[in-house]
Structure 1
Amino acid sequence: MLKGLIGRKLGMTHIYDENGRMVPVTVVELGPCHVVQVRTPEKDGYYAAQIGYEPMKTQRVNKPMRGVFQKAELDKPLRHLKEFEIVDGQAASGQEVRAEHVFSEGETVKVTGVSKGKGFAGVVRRYGFAGGPMTHGSMTHRRPLSSGATGPQRVFKGKRSPGRMGGDQVTTRNLTIVKILADTNRVLIKGAVPGGRGSIVYVQKQ
């Protein structure tokens, strides 16, 4: 079966385990996804499946992609597409894949998403710089100060400076699937996953 699925982060809550301990969990709507194309070693050199998630209007898709969805015999085009490796068994175009087909409770996964954007930030917030004295006449409270030595007469690449913070692709590993709610296509993952509420995430086996 596939190595992962596409889903949408719905938010965080908590549940209680059999010992009465509170467990923080992230609720992810995982699928249902549909196989759009299958990559084979004979044609593509590797074995994988391109899956799609979330139906959309046909008129929003260009003609080449419309043909791809028609070939897979799907009723509607799918908004989000991603390839996942096929690790066990086979996949066929048009096949529906749900969370319970790929994952099991207690399984360890990694989740990839786009972190929350935090806008333009200074070095104290962005990199944890200590900053300068707040009193005694100091005029350098939160400035980055020196950008380097005068010898090279340039700023080296990678210099930590103020700039846009967040909005990066982030992968969180070693997360555990606590519960799979098959009737609502939702999974409860222990801990936090990248992104804000409503953002797209990719859940994969480790």
Structure 2
Amino acid sequence: MAEKLGILGRKLGMTRIFGGDGAAVAVTVIEAGPCPVTQVKSEAKDGYNALQIAFVKAKAKHVTKAMQGHFAKADDGLYRHTREIRLAGAPEHKPGDALTVEMFAPGDVVKVTGTSVGKGYQGRMRRWNFAGSKDSHGCEKVHRNNGSVGNNTFPGHVFKGRKMAGHWGNETVTEMGLLIVGVRPQDNVILVRGSVPGPKNGLVLVRKQ
């Protein structure tokens, strides 16, 4: 599936700025790029058009031999993170080119993809916002229970997708329709109105919509 060109970054946290009308705006600060192009794929050779970009310099001891050879083709050092972005048309970049925050401007609408904060194993009430049983006389030790989940002899199994206790968070989440309110090329920073998925220092991908 083709995507618009984007850039890798890390979420530094949230703050607020004041607009021209004096209104306070909550923003997320993202340190994005520079992201070198480490591989270019074309439809003629690979069957589809794509760019592979990298982020965060790494030491040789933290990179496998295979990836060291891969990065050597771009001749731009070793990196910790890579991401492939499929493109609709032929790529205009070549290995070694760098993508920076200057590809964005205030007023651009973007979508940000990250990994949500993991909250471990949670019960059904916290995970699915269930109300629980009545806390009255006669309801003994069942206030937070899951209740009946099974069936009779037919079909004799729990249906897939039933809301039960389980692992919560740590999922890939894309937040759509976020507005860029500031770009600071000297710091490799962009300011996005609103919140984005993930914890502080979490890896995110910022793309134009």
Q: TM-score range by the shorter chain?
A: over 0.9
Distance 1:86 1:154, change over 3 A: closer
Deviations 1:108-128 (A, max 9, x none): 111111101111111111111
1:186 aligns with 2:189: yes
Structure 1 stretches of 4+ with a deviation exceeding 3 A read: 85-89
* Residue 87 of structure 1: how far off its partner (Å): 6.2
Which residue of structure 2 lines up, in the alignment, with residue 201 of structure 1?
A: 204
Deviation, 1:64, is 2.2
For residue 86 of structure 1, report the CA deviation from its aligned partner: 4.5
| Cα distance in structure 2, aligned partners of 1:21 and 1:136 | 51
For structure 1, which segment, 140-149 or 166-175, has the greater mean C-alpha deviation from structure 2 after superposition?
Answer: 140-149
Matches within 5 A, 1:1-206: 3-74=5-76, 76-86=77-87, 90-100=92-102, 102-139=103-140, 140-150=142-152, 151-206=154-209
TM-aligned CA deviation for residue 149 of structure 1: 2.4
Contact kept, 8 Å, 1:29 with 1:186, in 2: the verdict is yes
Q: Secondary structure at the match of 1:159?
A: coil
Amino acid at match of 2:197: P
Tell me how far apart the structure 2 counterparts of residues 119 and 70 of structure 1 sit (CA, whole Å): 39
Long gaps (5+) in structure 1: none
Aligned positions, number: 203
How far apart are 1:47 and its partner, in Å? 1.9
TM-score (structure 1 length as normaliser): 0.94
Change in 2 beyond 3 A, CA 1:181/1:87: farther
Please identify, of 130-139 and 8-17, the stretch whose mean Cα deviation from structure 2 is larger. Answer: 130-139
> Structure 2: which amino acid aligns with 1:45?
G
Give the root-mean-square deviation of aligned CA atoms: 1.5
C-alpha distance in 2 between matches for 1:61 and 1:80: 10
Q: In structure 2, what residue type is equivalent to 1:36?
A: T
1-structure distance, mates of 2:129, 2:87 = 41
The answer as to whether partners of 1:113 and 1:169 remain within 8 angstroms in 2 is: yes
Equivalent position amino acid for 2:13 in 1: G
**3-state SS of the aligned residue for 1:124?**
helix
